[in-house]
Homo-oligomer: A and B are copies of this chain.
Amino acid sequence: MKKSYCPIDTFINSIKGKRKGTIILHLWQGDKRYNELVKLMPDISERMMTKQLKELEADGLIHRTVFPEVPPRVEYSLTELGRDIRPVLKGMYKGGLLLESTIDAEKN
């Protein structure tokens, strides 16, 4: 990830990718296999899912465990860092609801 000029931008850059927030939210509920995540989010392509997972892993927010079995099994989980930022994500969730209600209000 590129260097940011401000910690807030660093944080944003680590989670702004397509549906990264939702991915973390799902892993929050428990470890998930690749296909489980794909099924949980039918609106994002596999190519995108793979990309986001790789980036989240590179940024140290999630962990990838490969089980040497046939057929292959890969599980994703939150790292300690990923778990540390859960309160922030919770705040973002609430903030998102606030934003949505503001947007809805504009329509009326």
Task: List the interface of chain A (C-beta within 8 A of B).
Answer: 1, 4-12, 14-16, 19-22, 24-25, 41, 43, 59-60, 81, 84-85, 87-89, 91-100, 102-103, 106
Contacts and interface: CB of A to CB of B under 8 A. Distances in A.
B8 A59 contact: no
The 9 residue pairs across chains A and B that have the minimum distance between CB atoms: A7-B96, A8-B21, A11-B96, A88-B91, A10-B96, A16-B16, A11-B92, A6-B22, A85-B95
A25 B21 CA distance: 22
Secondary structure of the A side of the interface?
A: helix
Contact of A88 (B1, B7, B92): B92
27 contacts: A5-B43, A6-B96, A7-B92, A7-B94, A7-B97, A7-B99, A9-B19, A10-B96, A10-B97, A10-B99, A10-B100, A11-B93, A11-B95, A11-B99, A12-B16, A12-B21, A14-B99, A60-B103, A60-B106, A81-B98, A84-B98, A85-B91, A85-B95, A87-B91, A88-B94, A88-B95, A91-B91
